[in-house]
């Protein structure tokens, strides 16, 4: 059985295995392989770089899913055919926003499962300003570092969001709250209004 870290396991928990799935920036393709173990039959594993694609190919062979996982070299979603569930994990928030901006097949049923390593606040602003909404967020921690994983869908309704929502989103995981609080403490030196967003933490 393939064991994913908590971050990728949280992403996997949002994926509908009976749909057309794409993992953008797949690297090792462990997530697509794990989704196949859970019953997925149509998965694209894409990456812009050849080296990660080689690692992905090796794992796909090792776990015996070459008949269900298609490897594609693509910059973002540029050369990816229409999919229902798109995972973009382990990249900066700006790059994730850029990749979503290049998506040509969005419908109200499309799901984006997003896990920014940085700039989650920028990604949340981008999403709402461009007609997406966050349905749910789950916290995860790997090697003591906290992350959020977002389940996102397209509504077409453009909205602006508060600073508080931009920074914390819908993630209530205490580990993530603590991480965002530390970020806000640093930013508060330059912008005191951000210091006011700092939340109470459990002792
Ligand atoms: C840090 S790894 C994350 C791997 C995996 N998604 C995870 O979360 O563990 C980032 C991967 O994204 C790929 N990548 C970076 N920019 C990309 C782009 N514009 N389009 C597709 N893949 C990209 C890199 O080659 C690398 O394999």
Q: Which residues line ligand 1 (CB under 6 A)?
A: 8, 24-27, 47-49, 52, 75-76, 89-91
How far apart are alpha carbons 34 and 9 in whole angstroms? 9
Nearest CA owner, ligand 1 atom 13:
25
Pairing between β-strand 85-91 and β-strand 145-154 as defined by DSSP bridges: unpaired
How far apart are alpha carbons 142 and 151 in whole angstroms? 19
Q: What is the dihedral of CA 123, 126, 128, 134, to 10 degrees?
A: -20
Nearest CA owner, ligand 1 atom 9:
90
Domains of the chain: 6-162 (3.40.50.150)
> What's the 25 CA to ligand 1 centre distance in angstroms?
3
The full DSSP string for 1-44 is: -----HHHHHHHHT--TTS-EEEET-TT-HHHHHHHHTT---EE
Atom of ligand 1 nearest to the CA of 11: 8
pLDDT value of residue 203: 78
- Structural tokens at position 82: 């229409």
Nearest CA owner, ligand 1 atom 25:
49
Strand partners, 116: 91
Mutate to test the pocket of ligand 1, among 14, 35, 48, 145 (most ligand atoms within 8 A of CB): 48
> What's the 183 CA to ligand 1 centre distance in angstroms?
24
> What's the 52 CA to ligand 1 centre distance in angstroms?
8
Low-confidence ranges of the chain (pLDDT < 70): none
Residue 151 phi, psi (nearest 5): -105, 120
**Dihedral sign, Cα of residue 82, residue 28, residue 153, residue 36:** positive
pLDDT value of residue 75: 98
pLDDT value of residue 32: 98
> What's the 154 CA to ligand 1 centre distance in angstroms?
23
pLDDT value of residue 202: 79
How far apart are alpha carbons 18 and 10 in whole angstroms? 18
């Amino acid at each position: 059985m393939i064991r994913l870290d908590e971050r990728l396991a949280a992403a996997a928990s949002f994926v509908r295995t009976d749909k057309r799935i794409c993992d953008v920036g797949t690297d090792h393709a462990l997530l697509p392989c794990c989704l196949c173990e859970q019953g997925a039959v149509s998965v694209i594993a894409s990456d812009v770089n050849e080296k990660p694609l080689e690692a992905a190919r090796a794992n796909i062979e090792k776990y015996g899913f070459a008949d269900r996982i298609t490897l594609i070299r693509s910059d973002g979603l540029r050369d990816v055919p229409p999919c229902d569930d798109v995972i973009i994990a382990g990249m900066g928030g700006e790059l994730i926003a850029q990749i979503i901006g290049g998506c040509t097949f969005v419908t109200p049923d499309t799901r984006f499962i997003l896990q920014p390593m940085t700039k989650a606040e920028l990604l949340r602003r981008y999403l709402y300003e461009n007609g997406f909404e966050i349905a749910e967020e789950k916290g995860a921690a790997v090697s003591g570092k906290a992350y959020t994983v977002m389940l996102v869908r397209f509504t077409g309704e453009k909205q602006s969001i508060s600073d508080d929502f931009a920074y914390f989103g819908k993630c209530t995981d205490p580990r993530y709250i603590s991480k965002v609080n530390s970020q806000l403490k640093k930013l508060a030196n330059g912008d005191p209004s951000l210091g006011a967003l700092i939340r109470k933490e459990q002792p």
